[in-house]
Amino acid sequence: MPANPAPVSRVTMMDVARRAGVSQPLVSLVIGGNPRARVADATRERILEAARELGYRPNVIARSLVRGRAYAIGLIIPDLSNPFFADVVRGAEKVAADQGYAVLFCDAADLGAEHHLEALRARQVDGVIMDAMGAASLEQGALAGLNVVLIDEPVAAFHGVASDAVEAGRLAARHLLELGHRRFGFMGPASDVWAFRMRERGFVQQLRSAGIALESDQLRRSAATVDGGRAAMRTLLALEPRPSAVFCANDLMAVGALKACARGGVRVPDDVSVMGCDDIEAARFITPELTTITIPARELGARAARMLFRLLNGEHARSTRPLAVTLAARGTTARAPA
Amino acid sequence: MPANPAPVSRVTMMDVARRAGVSQPLVSLVIGGNPRARVADATRERILEAARELGYRPNVIARSLVRGRAYAIGLIIPDLSNPFFADVVRGAEKVAADQGYAVLFCDAADLGAEHHLEALRARQVDGVIMDAMGAASLEQGALAGLNVVLIDEPVAAFHGVASDAVEAGRLAARHLLELGHRRFGFMGPASDVWAFRMRERGFVQQLRSAGIALESDQLRRSAATVDGGRAAMRTLLALEPRPSAVFCANDLMAVGALKACARGGVRVPDDVSVMGCDDIEAARFITPELTTITIPARELGARAARMLFRLLNGEHARSTRPLAVTLAARGTTARAPA
DNA sequence: TTGTAAGCGTTATCAG
DNA sequence: CTGATAACGCTTACAA
């Protein structure tokens, strides 16, 4: 059995200083790599060597305390089991790691955003990235005084990056219309998550401008999960007349919808066309591959991180325009049946 | 546009002390919640109220410095785009958050484990969880002096938790044998990741004890991804005679294998049975649903975290036996064709 | 060029 | 019970 807890780093600047026969602050000067530090080359060498021999590693905590910067950011997402958010995390983590920042990962599925925000505050994080967490509905002041970048949830009071969710809905509608569909269905969660609302809006708008109105029974509210999609599709399939094309608020729902079709003996895309939104990797696992709207999840995370760092550096973090989304026409959509 | 960087927490214990008319250390005593702190009820109340009014929040960084504990752990995984690891992360994060620990998330896909370990060290993390990162092949000393818990990679020198990977392979073989298959294929990555090696070993062993040997051409080396699986399956299908059952080292490969079958006009499971391993959620997205071995990813992460905390508390972290894996017999396997 | 002194926000150890 | 006083490891003036 391995040995027990060992202190991580016992070697301090003081140790290095003693070994090199200099004062501790001088070590700080050299190690800190301050470019304009004028230290005799000989001493510098001596210090660096002493540090190397001792295996010295700077203590970020101590540095944080004195500099008032934690060199860490918080990242809160609704649920890592949705691959879409996993990509957002990857994008943000990469950028942060490149900058030498740590990412304090928080999944709000269990503990709730407020709780995590409290914890992040206590850790003095330099900023927080939140994805689709209903920032508007957070307890008053949960975000006060924090450097925040919101993903896919434009709120005037905060910085943020977003995908072009309305366009996502429009693209879906356009694609389906072009295939000759005239009778539609839509499914999305009841929650007030911005991206879902906008996707729906874009979809409905585009249909309307083609002279097609959606009755309320063509518009199903259900959880944004596979099970939710399955349930919603069942009721949609029971409609009379039955929609020939269905747009799902995200890919997980679309997968559920497909399952419901398979179970109900409804052929996709021959009898009914199904579209998702997000373009998670699994969209191409299924057969036929899922027609969907590609949302650049990784880029969303990466941009949010970049924007946050710009903020932290006092640069003007101009809010960029929505990230472009694109149609990924694949196998679950086809011309409307005659 | 929102306002610029604001210091996170300006209120210190000193402020609270002044407001309550007591000394700062006394505030620490009260706030620290030390149960055996004998403080006059009146003063305690006064302090707590002052803290509330000022909106005081403890500064974890300062506490960390003096206590020599960061109350944070590092979590390094190979690649978050594999949903299996996302589940591991979820499990570990939940446990850590419950304990008031922060999780410094590190994806080794881009920067490499060594780099992240260095960064985690500098942050004085109390411990590190690593999943399938080839700890054995890490640069000498990269883990030295760190409290480490390894997932799915038993190394004598470190604590760890693992799934029963050999049994996973055996279960797959047994299932396929029971279905009457006699001619097999296996695909796995060339890397020396423990879990993959053991899955293969269990599979091969079980077949051998049934009197069946695998020729080298029935054993394909390929990346543990969808593309890798597709490529491997292509060559497997070209074999003469062709295997009637194929076990893939993980679900992503199996998905790729399925794609290759579809493309090659090979019916699953009628012509050939395909099995995966992991049981990621997407295993049930496809049709027919993927027969696979369920590896309790979340539990793996959760246990690793629990074990790490036991370690940190100086408790004897008994290494538990491998986590049980189970067969999930679904639609991609069937009786061997006549 | 280098050393001294002060302080970041806490906790912990002692005397009063 | 309470309150100085001294760390924790580092950065940053300011002296020498």
Closest among B125, B144, B126 to B135, alpha carbons compared: B144
The pLDDT of residue A156 is 87
Please report the residues numbered 6 through 25 in chain B whose beta carbons come closer than 8 angstroms to any beta carbon of chain A. 6-9
Whether A243 shows a pLDDT value over 90: the answer reads yes
Nearest to B62 among A65, A87, A314 (CB): A65
What is the structure's pLDDT at A139? 78
- Supply the pLDDT for residue B5: 42
B102 membership: H or E segment, kind and range? strand B102-107
B134 has a chain A CB within 8 A of its CB: no
User: Dihedrals φ, ψ of B148, to 5°?
Assistant: -120, 140
* DSSP assignments along B149-213, one per residue: EEES---TTSEEE-B-HHHHHHHHHHHHHHTT--SEEEEE-SS--HHHHHHHHHHHHHHHTTT--
pLDDT at B135: 74
Average pLDDT over residues A251-276: 97
| Whether residue A2 has pLDDT greater than 50 | no
- CA dist A26 and A32 (Å) reads 10
The answer to whether B25 CB sits below 7 Å from nucleic acid chain D is yes
Helix (H, G, I), strand (E, B) or coil at A270: coil
Place of tokens 């074999």: B239
The DSSP letter of residue A132 is S
What is the average per-residue pLDDT within A325-336?
98
CA B292 to chain centre: 18
Q: Tell if the CB–CB gap between A8 and B64 is shorter than 8 Å.
A: no
Q: How far is CA B230 from the centre of its chain?
A: 25
CA angle A143, A145, A148 (to 5 degrees): 55
Beta bridge partners, B159, equal B149
Q: A6 and B146 in contact by Cβ < 8 A?
A: yes
- B138 to chain A, closest Cα gap in Å: 18
- Measured between beta carbons, the chain A residues lying within 8 angstroms of B302 are none
- Residues 285-314 of chain B: which lie with beta carbon within 7 Å of strand D? none
User: At residue A34, does pLDDT exceed 90?
Assistant: no
**In chain C, which nucleotides are within 7 Å of a protein Cβ?**
1-13
Rounded-to-integer distance, Cα B219 and Cα B97, Å: 43
Residue A216 in this model has a pLDDT that exceeds 90: yes
Decide if A86 touches B, using CB distance below 8 A. yes
Predicted pLDDT of residue B326 = 98
For A269-278, what is the mean pLDDT?
98
B100 vs A: CB within 8 A: yes
pTM of the model: 0.94
Residue of B nearest to A94 (CA): B110
- For residue A78, say if its preceding peptide bond is cis, omega within 30 degrees of 0: no
The predicted model gives A296-323 an average pLDDT of 93
Report chain B (338 residues): mean pLDDT per 10 consecutive residues.
49 91 88 72 88 92 94 97 98 97 97 95 96 80 91 92 98 98 97 95 98 96 98 97 98 98 96 98 96 98 97 84 97 96
Position A317 scores a pLDDT of 77
The pLDDT of residue B33 is 66
Residue A189 scores a pLDDT above 70: yes
Nearest by CB: B68 against A7, A72, A311: A7
Q: Which of residues 203-242 of A touch B (CB under 8 A)?
A: 226
A241: Cα separation from own chain's centroid: 38
Average pLDDT estimate for A183-196: 95
pLDDT of residue B35: 57
Round and report the angstrom distance from CA (B182) to C1' (C15): 84
A31 touches strand D (CB under 7 A): yes
Would you state the pLDDT for residue B43?
86
| Antiparallel, parallel or unpaired: β B326-328 and B292-294 | antiparallel
Query: In this predicted structure, what is the pLDDT of residue A35?
Result: 62
| Most confidently modeled range among A97-111, A313-327, B18-32, B131-145 | A97-111
Q: B62 to chain A: which residues are within 8 Å by CB?
A: 65
Mean pLDDT confidence for A106-123: 95
DSSP A68-111: T--SEEEEEES-TTSHHHHHHHHHHHHHHHHTT-EEEEEEHHHH
pLDDT at B4: 40
Q: Find the residue closest to D1 using CA and C1' atoms.
A: B39
